[in-house]
A = this chain, B = another copy of it.
Amino acid sequence: MIGFEQDGRIGRLFLQRASHANAFTSEMLGRTAEIMELAPGESDVIVIHAVGDDFSLGRDREEPKNPGGPYAAFSEISRVNAAFAAFPGIVVTAIKGRAFGFGLGVAMRSDIAIAADDARFMLDEVSLGFPPMFLMEVILEHLPPKRALDLILSSREFGAAEALDIGLVSRLVSADKLEAEVDEFVETLIGRDPDVLKSCKAYLKAVNQMPASARPNYALVEQARFALDHH
C-alpha cells in the first residue's frame, strides 16, 4: 500500500490505498519508516505522491488496536517522524484533496509542501477524543499559536488558502497542475548542487537550536568552510 521508485537521486514514495483515502495502517507506517531510513544513502530528494483523490485521511481508525498497547502503537509514529527528521535531503509533498490528522503531520514534517488550491485540511484528533501530541510537538514552529490552538481545539476543516497563509504549506498551485508543478520544482532542486541543498537544510536546523549570540560566528565559519570545500 506504499510504493517506492528510485529515479536517479530522486526517490518517489506513493501512498496507494486510494480505496481508504490513503489512511495509514500500521503496515504502511512501518513501510514508510523503512523507506525513509534507507533514503539518505540513495536519494537527495524524496517526493511523496498520493494515488487517488486525497493525500491522506491520517491514521486508519478501523484497524484493531496494537496488542502491545499504546506505547508500542505510538512508537510506530515516532519511528516515522524520526526517519523524516534524520533525512538530510529535501522531502517534497504533493498535497491534494484531504490531508487530515497524521496526513497533515506528514505535510508539516516534509521540507516543502506544495498544495493544490482546493486541498482541505483538518486536525481531527480532539474531536476524536485525544490531544494530537506528535503534531503539537512541531506545530508552533510553523503557525502562530492563536491560529494553531483554534484549529486543534475546534477540529474544524480549513482550506488551502488558509493553510498557506498560516505557514503550513510552502505554496499553492492550480489543482490540475499539481503534478506538473511538483515535477518542475523537483527538476529545479535536482539541478542544484546537492551539497548546497543539504547545507541549507542542516544549517537552518542548526542555527535554530543555538542561542542568537552564537549564530554570527557560526555563520562566518560555516560560510567560509563551505567556500573552501567547494571552490
Asked if A38 CB lies within 8 Å of chain B CBs, one says no
**Chain A, interface SS category:** helix
What does the 1/0 interface line of A192-219 toward B look like (CB < 8 Å)?
A: 1100110111011001110111011011
Task: Closest B residue to A141 by CB, please name it.
Answer: B145
- How many of chain A's residues touch chain B, expressed as a range? 35 or more
Contact B146 A169 (CB under 8 A): yes
User: How many copies of this chain are found per oligomer?
Assistant: 3
A180 interfacial by beta-carbon distance below 8 Å: no
Q: A224-B70, A228-B69 are in contact. Are A167 and B144 (CB under 8 A)?
A: yes
Shortest beta-carbon distance from A165 to chain B in Å: 7
| Chain B residues whose CB sits within 8 angstroms of the CB of A228 once the complex forms | 69-70
Checking B204, B224, B227 against A140 with a beta-carbon cut-off of 8 angstroms, the contacting residue is B204
